């Protein structure tokens, strides 16, 4: 019976977030080694998909848990954390029984403080540990920045097909299927085209035009004939790396010409729609003006620049300051990651006076602490829930202790640690119902639409300073290659001459 090893090492990095991601951030999401991987995480995200996909092989196959590490989106991984990944990989692969193949779940946009291509480093490390011949298929988020090192390290790469990300499990199953084809004799060749463009997450939905028809054809292309895997990876713009941009990736069974042709065709369809992905933002005062003019509720205001889903700190003060300044009949609901503020509220106790400078501590570049006064409404020993939908499948979220503070017409949920900023569960887990408020803030550029969309009276995209802003000229890029649209005008993407490696 064949044995297939399962690994997940997943985090999405925003390199402009000054708070490094450390070992404790992964431990908060649960570290699994050996048999724990299947026992505890066998139905979670891509690992759940790997297991399900392996069950569909014609012959019986034994999934072997090797290693599972996940942390929520945030700043670059600390050097000691990167070293820990390497030690765990070496130890757990040495402990594993002989394997016939490996399935690896990565994000594809993880950076280390000292390593701009941490996913490439991980695949290179895995390859050095398992040798040149073992088939290794890795899954990637649709916001991955695909490097040549990643392509070399893995036998094949398989990317999500949806944003909001609703197909983590299906991607795991697709990766298992590609591995099955490799073990049956397929010899994967990757064809890449890089587009010199970055776009904000706000309008990147694959469920509506202009991207929907392109993705329908992409999905249809995968599995047809020699095409093993097809992906359009829109990258995460918060990586300061050379040749940052969208990647079209086609993996074929020894058909590089077919792969290049298909990748080129898809890239040529993505390039002209870029102008349609430019976000029309409103600054904070205009957001509130518009929200208060809407008849119904709740009006959802997206603070994409401070999106915890995009690796921002989650402690921006800009919308909060504007909301405190106003009268908001029906009230506003917002969230902030601020452990010292939770401690202050805990000391004050329910009903106690709250006077503290909140926010602007994690992201101290784009925000500064904002002194506020209010009343502590409630305290919660643990703000947690299980995420299903955009961003996770059966994924346990723990934002630590929480406090709810009332400031003017604003109900502010303070939590110790970041989690998804896109689900109503971030509020409901402490008894706050978003439907009960006039205005609700989400910390997500687009993924929130999956769950908030059905009941939002209106959706407004805010333009505030922050390290996940889609106003790219506001970000301190130093290493990206230019020209890069929309920072620079580009008429013909082919003339820019970026990679087109085989
Ligand atoms: Zn993503």
Residues 141, 78 share a domain? yes
Q: How many whole angstroms separate alpha carbon 239 and alpha carbon 120?
A: 14
pLDDT, position 496: 85
Residues 101, 65 share a domain? yes
Each residue's pLDDT tens digit, 283-332: 999 999 999 999 999 999 999 999 999 999 999 999 999 999 999 999 99
Backbone phi, psi, residue 230, to 5°: -135, 130
Q: 3-state DSSP call for residue 276?
A: helix
Of 259, 277, 295, the residue that ends a domain is 277
For ligand 1, the distance from its centroid to the CA atom of residue 11, given in whole angstroms, is 10
User: At residue 382, does pLDDT exceed 60?
Assistant: yes
Residues 448, 404 share a domain? yes
For ligand 1, the distance from its centroid to the CA atom of residue 208, given in whole angstroms, is 17
For ligand 1, the distance from its centroid to the CA atom of residue 464, given in whole angstroms, is 21
Q: Does 497 reside within a domain? A: no
Residues 372, 456 share a domain? yes
Q: Does 458 reside within a domain? A: yes
Percent of the chain whose pLDDT exceeds 70: 99
pLDDT, position 199: 97
Instruction: Name which of 177, 149, 219, 143 is nearest 468 in CA terms.
Output: 143
Residues 320, 262 share a domain? no
Q: Does 495 reside within a domain? A: no
Starting at the edge strand found earlier in the chain, the sheet holding 410-415 runs 282-283, 458-463, 299-302, 439-442, 332-337, 410-415, 402-407, 370-380, 353-358
CA dihedral 243→247→250→254, nearest 10 degrees, is: 0
For ligand 1, the distance from its centroid to the CA atom of residue 280, given in whole angstroms, is 21
Q: Does 492 reside within a domain? A: no
Q: What total number of domains does the chain contain?
A: 2
For ligand 1, the distance from its centroid to the CA atom of residue 130, given in whole angstroms, is 28
User: At residue 491, does pLDDT exceed 50?
Assistant: yes
For ligand 1, the distance from its centroid to the CA atom of residue 449, given in whole angstroms, is 14
For ligand 1, the distance from its centroid to the CA atom of residue 141, given in whole angstroms, is 5
Q: Which domain holds residue 166?
A: 2-277
DSSP states of 282-340: EEHHHHHHHHHH-SSSPEEEE-GGG-GGGT--S---HHHHHHHHS--TT-EEEEEE-HH
For ligand 1, the distance from its centroid to the CA atom of residue 32, given in whole angstroms, is 23
For ligand 1, the distance from its centroid to the CA atom of residue 45, given in whole angstroms, is 13
For ligand 1, the distance from its centroid to the CA atom of residue 201, given in whole angstroms, is 9
For ligand 1, the distance from its centroid to the CA atom of residue 169, given in whole angstroms, is 14
For ligand 1, the distance from its centroid to the CA atom of residue 73, given in whole angstroms, is 10
For ligand 1, the distance from its centroid to the CA atom of residue 195, given in whole angstroms, is 18
Q: Does 175 reside within a domain? A: yes
User: At residue 500, does pLDDT exceed 60?
Assistant: no
For ligand 1, the distance from its centroid to the CA atom of residue 447, given in whole angstroms, is 9
For ligand 1, the distance from its centroid to the CA atom of residue 74, given in whole angstroms, is 13
For ligand 1, the distance from its centroid to the CA atom of residue 379, given in whole angstroms, is 32
DSSP states of 153-192: HSSEEEE---SS---HHHHHHHHHHHHHHHHTT--EEEEE
For ligand 1, the distance from its centroid to the CA atom of residue 131, given in whole angstroms, is 30
User: At residue 133, does pLDDT exceed 80?
Assistant: yes
Each residue's pLDDT tens digit, 19-72: 999 999 999 999 999 999 999 999 999 999 999 999 999 999 999 999 999 999
Residues 152, 53 share a domain? yes
Mean model confidence pLDDT for the chain = 96
pLDDT, position 227: 98
Q: Does 142 reside within a domain? A: yes
pLDDT, position 91: 98
For ligand 1, the distance from its centroid to the CA atom of residue 142, given in whole angstroms, is 5
DSSP structure class, residue 42? T
User: At residue 424, does pLDDT exceed 60?
Assistant: yes
Residues 286, 179 share a domain? no
* Position 142 confidence tier, pLDDT thresholds 50, 70, 90: very high
Mean pLDDT confidence for 186-191: 97
For ligand 1, the distance from its centroid to the CA atom of residue 80, given in whole angstroms, is 25
Residues 352, 303 share a domain? yes
Contact status, residue 301 vs residue 460, Cβ threshold 8 Å: yes
Each residue's pLDDT tens digit, 344-379: 999 999 999 999 999 999 999 999 999 999 999 999
For ligand 1, the distance from its centroid to the CA atom of residue 21, given in whole angstroms, is 18
Of 277, 312, 332, the residue that ends a domain is 277
For ligand 1, the distance from its centroid to the CA atom of residue 61, given in whole angstroms, is 30
Residues 240, 167 share a domain? yes
Q: Which residue has the tokens 């490094």?
A: 20
Residues 216, 85 share a domain? yes
* Position 391 confidence tier, pLDDT thresholds 50, 70, 90: confident
For ligand 1, the distance from its centroid to the CA atom of residue 377, given in whole angstroms, is 35
Residues 379, 245 share a domain? no
Q: Does 419 reside within a domain? A: yes
Each residue's pLDDT tens digit, 453-462: 999 999 999 9
pLDDT, position 271: 97
User: At residue 501, does pLDDT exceed 70?
Assistant: no
Q: Does 488 reside within a domain? A: no
For ligand 1, the distance from its centroid to the CA atom of residue 310, given in whole angstroms, is 8
Residues 249, 342 share a domain? no
Each residue's pLDDT tens digit, 94-123: 999 999 999 999 999 999 999 999 999 999
User: At residue 380, does pLDDT exceed 90?
Assistant: yes
Mean pLDDT confidence for 438-443: 98
User: At residue 169, does pLDDT exceed 70?
Assistant: yes
pLDDT, position 404: 98
* Position 502 confidence tier, pLDDT thresholds 50, 70, 90: very low
User: At residue 168, does pLDDT exceed 80?
Assistant: yes
Q: How many whole angstroms separate alpha carbon 152 and alpha carbon 230?
A: 17
Mean pLDDT confidence for 422-444: 98
User: At residue 482, does pLDDT exceed 70?
Assistant: yes
* Position 499 confidence tier, pLDDT thresholds 50, 70, 90: low
HSE-up of residue 206 (Cα within 13 Å, Cβ side)? 21
């Amino acid at each position: 019976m064949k044995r297939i090893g399962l690994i997940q090492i997943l985090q999405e990095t925003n390199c402009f977030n000054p708070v490094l991601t450390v070992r404790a951030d992964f431990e908060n999401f649960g570290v699994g080694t050996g048999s724990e991987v299947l026992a505890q995480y066998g139905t979670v995200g891509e690992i759940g998909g790997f297991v399900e996909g392996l069950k569909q092989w014609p012959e019986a196959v034994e999934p072997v848990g090797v290693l599972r590490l996940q942390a929520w989106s945030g700043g670059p991984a600390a050097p000691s954390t990167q070293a820990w990944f390497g030690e765990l990989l070496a130890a757990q692969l040495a402990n594993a029984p002989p394997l016939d193949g490996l399935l690896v779940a990565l994000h594809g946009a993880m950076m280390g403080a000292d390593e701009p291509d941490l996913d490439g480093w991980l695949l290179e490390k895995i390859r050095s540990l398992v040798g040149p011949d073992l088939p290794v298929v890795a899954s990637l988020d649709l916001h991955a920045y695909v490097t040549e090192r990643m392509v070399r390290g893995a036998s094949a790469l398989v990317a999500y097909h949806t944003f909001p990300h609703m197909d983590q499990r299906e991607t795991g199953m697709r990766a298992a299927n590609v591995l099955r084809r490799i073990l049956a004799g397929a010899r994967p060749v990757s064809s890449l085209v890089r587009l010199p463009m970055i776009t904000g997450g706000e309008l990147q939905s694959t469920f509506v035009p202009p991207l929907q028809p392109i993705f329908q054809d992409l999905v249809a292309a995968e599995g047809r004939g020699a095409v093993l895997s097809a992906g359009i990876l829109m990258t995460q713009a918060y990586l300061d790396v050379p040749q940052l941009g969208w990647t079209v990736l086609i993996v074929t069974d020894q058909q590089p010409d077919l792969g290049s042709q298909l990748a080129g065709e898809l890239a040529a369809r993505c390039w002209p729609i870029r102008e349609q992905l430019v976000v029309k933002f409103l600054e904070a005062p205009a957001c509130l003006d518009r929200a208060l003019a809407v008849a119904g509720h709740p009006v959802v205001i997206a603070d994409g620049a401070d999106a915890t889903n995009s690796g921002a700190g989650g402690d921006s003060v800009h919308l909060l300051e504007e909301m405190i300044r106003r009268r908001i009949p029906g009230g506003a609901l917002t969230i902030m990651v601020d452990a010292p503020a939770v401690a202050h509220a805990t000391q004050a106790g329910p009903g106690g006076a709250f006077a503290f400078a909140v926010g602007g501590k994690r992201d101290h570049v784009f925000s500064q602490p904002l002194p506020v006064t209010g009343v502590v409404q409630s305290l919660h020993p643990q703000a947690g829930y299980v995420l299903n939908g955009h961003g996770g499948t059966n994924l346990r979220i723990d934002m630590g202790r929480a406090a709810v503070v009332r400031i003017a017409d604003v109900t502010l949920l303070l939590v110790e640690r970041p989690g998804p900023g896109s689900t109503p569960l971030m509020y409901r887990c402490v008894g706050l119902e978003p439907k009960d408020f006039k205005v609700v803030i989400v910390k997500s550029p687009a993924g929130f639409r999956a769950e908030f969309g059905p009941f939002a009276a209106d959706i407004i995209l805010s333009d505030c300073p922050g390290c996940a802003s889609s106003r790219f000229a506001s970000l301190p890029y130093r290493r990206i290659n230019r020209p890069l649209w929309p920072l620079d005008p580009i008429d013909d993407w082919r003339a820019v001459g970026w990679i087109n490696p085989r």
